[in-house]
Amino acid sequence: MPLEGHYERQTTPLYKLTPRELKAAFGVLAVTLAALLVVILMTVGDSPAPVAEGCIKTEVAGIVGAETIAACGREAVETCSHAAEFTGARAETIVSDCRARGIEF
């Protein structure tokens, strides 16, 4: 059975913030929100650079996650012809990217 005045004692804060402490807390909150807004606005619309002519850049499944395959010129032709020798999702992804980029192999 609760004692008389027990609820008030349990819900009363031990320390009340002074007006100066409240201003400091709100100041820190305002600076944090402003910095967060700046970071969000700076990264909106950020897109990767386009792939150059004669190059491939594709993401395929790797051992521990996505792996980027990027090559240009002769190296791209070799990568495409090597991938064409195999079957499976990884090879098919590379070969389809090679065909989409117009690389002859």
CB–CB of 60/94 below 8 Å? yes
CB–CB of 69/41 below 8 Å? no
Tell me the pLDDT tens digit for each residue of 7-59: 888 888 888 899 999 999 999 999 999 999 999 999 888 777 788 888 999 99
Q: Where are the domains of the chain?
A: 17-47, 55-101
How many Cα atoms within 13 Å fall on the side-chain side of residue 86? 12
Q: β-strands 55-61, 66-72: how paired?
A: antiparallel
Tell me the pLDDT tens digit for each residue of 68-95: 999 999 999 999 999 999 999 999 999 9
Whole-model pTM: value is 0.55
Give residue 34's pLDDT: 98
